[in-house]
Amino acid sequence: MESLPNQLSNDRILVRKVLTGDQRAFSQIIKETEGLVAQIIFKMIANSDDRKDLAQDVYLKVYQQLDRFRFQAKLSTWIGQIAYHTCLHHLERKKIALVPIGDSDREPSPGFSTPFENEIEGQLMREELSQLVASAMDQLNPIYRTLITLYHQEELSYSEIGQIVQLPEGTVKSYLFRARKALKAHVLRIYNTNIG
């Protein structure tokens, strides 16, 4: 991974090139950031056609607004922010529930989880756990799923995630606590349903 100052100067060079009409530079920006954009769109949006359309929308917006980018964050973070909010508006337009915080992500009763926790100790098969976690992620609400992915898979800092979702770091941390708790609850629930 590149250091922040190097990344910022690389960003400046690329942005300047795009603003003087160099489309190959924009193509390079897309290739460097589409991994992050894919993570956000795939975690927020279920329909595969919508995902492709939104991905293109995101980069058309980036292109239109690039002259307003002031390098206060990494270019990838700024693009992530556009991707996240494009998805958010899409979900709002389609009236899809966003953050059912507290209710749907409830935890099973304590005794319920014991068999699984014991098996974890006894080395539950790796693939089995991987499938469990993938299914549990699918059951999380879009925002929790995105936050967990950005932190644990993309390894972004709280501050970078805060810039993407435009929330204070403290709020990001508290959402992440709830998100992990909900994820663990889903894993246990699916496991217990499977063995039950």
Give me the residues that bind other proteins (CB under 8 A), please.
18-21, 23, 26-27, 30-31, 34-35, 38-39, 42, 51-52, 55-56, 59-60, 63-64, 67, 113, 116-118, 120-121, 124, 129-130, 132-134, 136-137, 148-149, 152-153, 177, 180-181, 183-184, 187
Q: How far is the CB of 27 from other proteins (least distance, A)?
A: 4
Residue 4: name the closest of 160, 191, 161, 141 by CA. Answer: 160
Residues whose CB is less than 8 angstroms from the CB of residue 101 and which lie 6 or more positions away in sequence, other chains included: 178
Amino acid at 170: G
Q: How far is the CB of 92 from other proteins (least distance, A)?
A: 22
* Cα-Cα end-to-end distance for the chain: 45
Residues whose CB is less than 8 angstroms from the CB of residue 2 and which lie 6 or more positions away in sequence, other chains included: 10
Residue 42 or 101: which CB sits closer to other proteins?
42
Instruction: Give, as one character, the DSSP assignment of residue 109.
Output: P
Residue 24 or 95: which CB sits closer to other proteins?
24
Residue 20 or 109: which CB sits closer to other proteins?
20
